Amino acid sequence: MINVPRGTQDLLPEETEKWQYVEEKFKALCRTYNYQEIRTPIFEHTELFQRGVGDTTDIVQKEMYTFNDRGDRSLTLRPEGTASVVRAFVQHKLFGNPTQPTKLFYIGPMFRYERPQQGRMRQFVQFGVEALGSADPAIDAEVMALAMNIYEGLGLKSLKLVLNSLGDNESRTNHRDALMKHFEPHKEELCNDCQVRLDKNPLRILDCKKDKDHEAMKTAPSILEYLNDYSQNYFEQVKDYLDQMGIEYVIDKNLVRGLDYYNHTAFEIMSNASGFGAITTLSGGGRYNGLVEDLGGPETPGIGFALSVERLLMALDAEGVALPLDNSLDCYVIAMGDNAEKKAVELVYTLRKAGIQVDKDYQGKKFKAQFKTADRLNAKYVLILGEEELANNVVNVKDMATGEQKQIRIADIETTLEKLVTGGTN
Ligand code: HAM
């Protein structure tokens, strides 16, 4: 027997119903916020992520599915969506569109070679949005509002929006110098990764799981003390807009995020639900002014976020939220006798063309067993067609909720059922 690769999963129909439901909700929400869908390839040139996500990140250093294709080009299964969206924005000159900012959303699988555990997969699906072309703090607040809306709209309550500012380049450089000075005397005590980070990207030390209890972590200089006036003011405005919308948040000066492209706003949404598990981050995002230029485009600010559907569904489970899934079938046709069987095939086809959900038996089951199937499929109506009915050009329609049964002329069945399933009366 061959099973799925580690860190991946099959989604069977019972699960895909939930996925379809949350996907539709996300798409509808994006329409409400006026974000439009973009679809980019599952694999890209490896260089895109090296430059976009950043050479010193865990993602690029140890988590990418990178391979050479038959033409000896290095390609990588996308570990995230932002770099690809920005590449497409530059490649197709979307910055030239008269309507800016360019507001895009995406849904799709991402790939990271991580140690699998609950909520951490090697293939996972992200919902994400990116708004390119505006440095207005109101759009930072908009992206966070959208992110909170998707969770709240699905019925989650135990949520925490965690916010930080990483400042602009000047603030970051000053903070970086301070971090280097702070950690240098402790270099030998830090883990191997952090020793490298100290020279290359000391901010990432603050995010280290191994060194998180080191004394020097507690006294590390905070970026918030190094924000210059512009960055400070920007951060204040973002918070003001969140306050204005009544969106609660907490500031975490150690929130640094795992990708290199961030500046100014950085945020994560966590689940507080007991039983959610060890990983509590539901989604993350932030501002990435500079990324468009890094990928060859004109100076363009950007902000976005992404969540994974796997963790979203885990949070729904942890909070005991049942999605209002409609797993009923409009109609099940039961035929008895060879001629009725033939007519049933035609009837099913006619009804399906009218947009009514219909199914019938294909197992040669007896009447009773067919009825059971109809019941199991949550059929709202059962159509019964025997030789006698056929001879009279009628069909029996049973309302499964009330048990009521009526004879309807075959010629009228389409209109009758249309009325019934759309909630009208016959
Ligand atoms: P990220 O924090 O790397 O950011 O990932 C965003 C979300 O994807 C996480 O909060 C988590 O829900 C989910 N996720 C990440 N890795 C896994 C995994 N192995 N298994 C399951 N879920 C996972 C980004 O990817 C950025 N591109 C977000 C962004 C968009 N920033 C600006 N725009």
Q: What is the pLDDT of residues 17-45, one digit of tens each?
A: 999 999 999 999 999 999 999 999 999 99
Per-residue pLDDT reduced to its tens digit, 306-340: 999 999 999 999 999 999 999 899 999 999 999 99
Q: Is 362 exposed, middle or buried (0-12, 13-18, 19+ CB in 10 A)?
A: exposed
Looking at the chain, the whole-number percentage of residues with pLDDT higher than 70 is: 99
Per-residue pLDDT reduced to its tens digit, 245-265: 999 999 999 898 888 899 999
Whether residue 401 has pLDDT greater than 70: yes
What's the whole-number mean pLDDT along residues 218-238? 95
Per-residue pLDDT reduced to its tens digit, 141-183: 999 999 999 999 999 999 999 999 999 999 999 999 999 999 9
How far is the centre of ligand 1, averaged over its atoms, from the C-alpha of 147 (Å)? 13
Whether residue 207 has pLDDT greater than 90: no
Residue 279 pLDDT? 80
Whether residue 380 has pLDDT greater than 50: yes
How far is the centre of ligand 1, averaged over its atoms, from the C-alpha of 387 (Å)? 60
| CA 207 remoteness from chain centre | 24
| Strand order across the beta sheet in which 159-165 lies | 36-37, 102-111, 123-132, 302-308, 281-287, 263-271, 159-165, 250-251
How far apart CA 73 and CA 43 sit, in angstroms, is 12
How far apart CA 249 and CA 358 sit, in angstroms, is 48
Whether residue 425 has pLDDT greater than 60: no
Looking at the chain, the whole-number percentage of residues with pLDDT higher than 90 is: 88
Whether residue 67 has pLDDT greater than 90: yes
Pocket test for ligand 1, best of 8, 49, 259, 268 (most atoms within 8 A of CB): 259
How far is the centre of ligand 1, averaged over its atoms, from the C-alpha of 186 (Å)? 31
Q: Which residue has a Cα nearest atom 20 of ligand 1?
A: 120
Residue 424 pLDDT? 54
Prediction pTM value: 0.93
How far is the centre of ligand 1, averaged over its atoms, from the C-alpha of 110 (Å)? 9
Enter the tokens of residue 272: 């507080």
Whether residue 426 has pLDDT greater than 80: no
Residue 30 pLDDT? 98
Pocket test for ligand 1, best of 35, 44, 80, 268 (most atoms within 8 A of CB): 80
**What domains does the chain contain, in order, with CATH numbers?**
13-168+228-318 (3.30.930.10), 329-421 (3.40.50.800)
